Amino acid sequence: MPMQGLLSHRSRFVIWLAPAAVLLCALAWLAWHQVHKPIHTQQLSAQAQLGHHLFHDTSLSASGQQSCASCHLKELGHASARGLEIGGPQMQFTGDRNTPSLRYLWRNTGLHFDEEGKASGGFFWDGRSDSLNAQAAEPFLNPAEMANPDKASVVAKLSHAAYAAQFERLFGKDIWQHTDKAFDAMTQALASYQTEDADFHPFDSVFDRVSQGKASFNAQQQRGWELFKDPEKGNCAACHTAEADKDGTPPLFTDNSYDNLGVPVSAKRLKNQAIDKGVCTHPLVSARADAHTLCGAFKVPSLRNVAVRRAFFHNAAMTDLREVIAFYATRDTDPKRWYGTNKPLGGVHPSLRPNVNRDEVPYGQKPGERARLIEQDIDDLLAFLHTLTDADLQAITASPPVAIAAPSAAAHAGRRAANPVALNNR
């Protein structure tokens, strides 16, 4: 074939291939969607409906002021307006871990090690709970959260709730005579609610619409998407997986692994606060010979709805998403910006520094070197991350965020100092 004809043939092939790829992605999404029909088009099960009542019931807390929904606001993607939430019998304590979103958790598993020996799965920042049920149980008994003294006190409140009869219809009239069984039934109903209600996993963001062939990225979003995947630039997809699952489930933008990012901690807290060791305290991890290498590592969160978050990282160290991206880009090249010192990782506890991720891009550079991501790259990545916002939250990302309804610094410090259990409350 003449060279001109060959080039023409290849051009026609490439032109045909691009829309074909989009079509295949759309068909895969539609096939998954047909099998996993959105629950908002169906009736929630009786158990999930009970879970809805439980999720919004403030009377189940010692203070009478706090429910699951108090810290996991639907209008913020079932995440927190504060980051570090308050709780306790008189709402007098402040936690030391950022309150995570509850969206897109329904397919998560308990912590385990994969074939490569990599820790994955688990709920909370340290992976200590193995299921939605177990995750739902903890806040009710945590002194820094809903602060009930024991399961019996929770069950007593359930037995007098407006939905007690509904509880009895599902689990038997004698359920109140069996404290452990009743408490477990409550967590089971909460898990059913988070599993069945599509508000917790709608998959209707701009990214999803692009994947379905129903929309297109603008130029800046497309640049950000390419940077996100580029192993020599953003390399975000190395941990925030951007590929659909084997069964066609759209990407969750997390591989559910654990990483030590060298997140800044204030000098005062670095000196006076107990060291938060993260996942290495998990029994499955601490039993391993290499457990020490995971100290300081925390769960990689989903990036879906990251643009509506009010705080970032396990310790809520930052409140601006652009700053978060800049931290990834310049942590090693400009340490003084993040740690107040030119010493690399100067704001990380010395015992945890050996475990900080230095190997993966965009890390691994020296102070003063040119960062792999320039300012325009950071803006482009930010634009792409906005495409991961669920449809019901997109109005939030279109306008400046409201001020965080957080306690004053002095009050926050006092609450933390008085709280013996705040460190591990998320």
Check whether residue 229 and residue 371 sit in a common domain. yes
Residue 406 lies in a domain: no
Query: Mean pLDDT of residues grouped by 10 in the chain (426 residues)?
Result: 47 47 50 48 89 98 98 98 96 95 97 95 98 98 98 98 98 98 98 98 98 98 98 98 93 98 78 85 97 98 98 96 98 96 92 96 96 98 98 79 40 43 55
Q: How many residues belong to the chain?
A: 426
Name the pTM for this structure: 0.86
Check whether residue 60 and residue 178 sit in a common domain. yes
Check whether residue 214 and residue 189 sit in a common domain. no
Domain final residue pick, 174, 200, 226: 200
Check whether residue 363 and residue 261 sit in a common domain. yes
The answer to whether 250 touches 287, Cβ cutoff 8 Å, is no
Domain final residue pick, 150, 174, 200: 200
Check whether residue 89 and residue 169 sit in a common domain. yes
| pLDDT of res. 101 | 98
| pLDDT of res. 306 | 98
| pLDDT of res. 424 | 58
Domain final residue pick, 200, 233, 254: 200
Separation CA 284–CA 263 (nearest Å): 24
Check whether residue 110 and residue 235 sit in a common domain. no
| pLDDT of res. 7 | 42
| pLDDT of res. 270 | 61
Residue 51 lies in a domain: yes
Residue 39 lies in a domain: no
| pLDDT of res. 398 | 65
Q: Which helix (H) or strand (E) holds 87?
A: strand 86-87
Residue 408 lies in a domain: no
The answer to whether 197 touches 40, Cβ cutoff 8 Å, is yes
Non-local CB neighbours of 406 within 8 Å, separated by 6+ positions: 82, 83, 84, 412
Check whether residue 53 and residue 148 sit in a common domain. yes
| pLDDT of res. 274 | 81
| pLDDT of res. 265 | 86
Check whether residue 63 and residue 160 sit in a common domain. yes
Residue 23 lies in a domain: no
Question: What is the domain count for the chain?
Answer: 2
Token output for 389: 């916002």
Domain that holds residue 349: 206-389
Check whether residue 213 and residue 196 sit in a common domain. no
- Domain CATH for 53: 1.10.760.10
Non-local CB neighbours of 257 within 8 Å, separated by 6+ positions: 118, 119, 120, 239, 299, 300
CA distances (Å), 111 to each of 21, 101, 260, 414, in order?
35, 18, 17, 34
